């Protein structure tokens, strides 16, 4: 089946559930076709704020779905279509809302945007006719659109999100809540955390698509997602403690990830925090359960992982645990299979892989932060451990 035929089938399936339309543009954002019966009446929504420039900037270098919002909170999914590295078309799905909006609220926002009185009623009629679709359902449709266009299967973690930089005020407090995710799915997730089940990341991708979460911040999608991640941090922390992670380390991690969530400036940042948090808690529980570490050595390993940017010395750790250096050194090697210094070196190199994803950090910055004596020594150790240089890892 040709691409256009697949899109026609997909468009028909969408319309069987929602008044949700597909739009196809060329590389210059000239409309090629759409199944929307009132193209002109809806197309003005896409001209608000910096939507066109936002989309063009994104499409130039990305090939995954982008969920985007204009200053009114009207949303689309955009999918750039590339052939041999060249942008050919841009597919849009929408427009839609993620939460219901009262007529008074919409009229207020139109006034704020200085829409003339002559056009307000016409625009208000259009806005009131837009479907309200939950975030989890939009995730599903976005993944389907990508599969339809490219033939590739992706997950929720591959999706991007961006809002217009034009601020919009908080809407009224009346909002139709989404259906809450099932109790059984949440309990399964927490079981996997308690047992240190490393399959949880693939499970979380499915949960994000098939489950749903109630409204945690009316009208503010970014705040909604931040609150959702904060809730997950608390759940993961408590389950990890039940699975054997020390309360002190769990609380320290909770504080760290809370700060990371609040510092996040985009949905992409939030997704990265969420995935890192999930993997971190589950891996710590998995390691503690699989290695059967004694409480003192587990506490030692936990302390090391939280202080890799400090000068870690055996004598300081021995004093902290009230052991002699000789006894701690021997016990640490027996239980972990590595001497104290070697264990720290490997932990720092593992942390370096995560830090290399941050393009704002230079190799010098990472080397200094992780207490390597020089960037060249750091690069030498990294290549010896992973077979590639830090620069190659970052570019790959």
pLDDT at res. 377? 95
Domain residue extents for the chain: 3-163, 177-292, 295-396
Tell me the percentage of the chain whose pLDDT exceeds 70.
87
Rounded CA separation 362/5 (Å): 47
pLDDT at res. 177? 36
pLDDT at res. 356? 86
- Asked whether the predicted pLDDT for residue 239 surpasses 70, the reply is yes
Write out the CATH class of domain 295-396: mainly alpha
What is the average pLDDT score of the chain? Answer: 82
Q: What is the pLDDT of residues 321-379, one digit of tens each?
A: 999 999 999 999 998 889 999 999 998 998 898 788 777 889 999 999 999 999 999 99
Q: What is the pLDDT of residues 131-165, one digit of tens each?
A: 988 777 888 899 999 999 999 988 776 778 776 55
């Amino acid at each position: 089946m040709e691409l256009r035929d697949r899109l026609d089938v997909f468009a028909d399936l969408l319309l069987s559930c929602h008044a949700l339309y597909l739009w196809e543009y060329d590389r210059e954002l000239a409309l090629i076709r759409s199944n929307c019966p009132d193209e002109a009446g809806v197309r003005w929504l896409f001209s608000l704020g910096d939507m066109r420039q936002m989309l063009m900037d994104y499409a130039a270098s990305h090939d995954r779905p982008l969920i985007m919002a204009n200053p009114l909170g009207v949303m689309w999914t955009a999918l750039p279509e590339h052939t041999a590295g060249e942008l050919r078309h841009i597919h849009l799905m929408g427009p839609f809302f993620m939460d219901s909006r009262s007529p008074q609220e919409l009229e207020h926002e139109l006034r704020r945007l200085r829409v003339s009185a002559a056009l307000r009623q016409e625009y208000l009629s259009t806005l009131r006719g837009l479907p309200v679709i939950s975030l989890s359902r939009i995730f599903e449709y976005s993944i389907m659109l990508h599969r339809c266009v490219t033939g590739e299967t992706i997950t929720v973690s591959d999706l991007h999100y961006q809002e217009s930089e034009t601020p919009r005020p908080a809407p009224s407090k009346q909002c139709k809540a989404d259906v809450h995710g099932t109790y059984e799915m949440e309990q399964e997730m927490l079981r996997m955390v308690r047992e240190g089940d490393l399959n949880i990341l693939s499970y979380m991708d499915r949960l994000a698509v098939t489950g749903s979460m109630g409204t945690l911040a009316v009208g503010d999608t970014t705040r909604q997602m931040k609150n959702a991640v904060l809730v997950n941090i608390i759940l993961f922390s408590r389950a990890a403690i039940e699975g054997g992670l020390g309360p002190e380390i769990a609380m320290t991690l909770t504080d760290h990830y809370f700060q990371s969530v609040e510092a996040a400036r985009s949905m992409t940042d939030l997704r990265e925090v969420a995935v890192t948090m999930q993997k971190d808690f589950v891996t710590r529980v998995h390691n503690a359960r699989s290695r059967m570490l004694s409480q003192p050595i587990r506490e030692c390993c936990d302390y090391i992982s939280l202080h890799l940017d400090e000068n870690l010395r055996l004598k300081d750790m021995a004093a902290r645990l009230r052991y002699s250096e000789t006894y701690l050194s021997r016990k640490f090697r027996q239980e972990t299979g590595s001497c104290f210094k070697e264990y720290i070196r490997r932990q720092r190199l593992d942390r370096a892989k995560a830090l290399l994803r941050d393009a704002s950090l230079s190799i010098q910055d990472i080397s200094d932060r992780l207490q390597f004596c020089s960037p060249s020594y750091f690069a030498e150790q990294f290549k010896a451990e992973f077979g590639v240089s830090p620069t190659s890892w970052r570019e790959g």
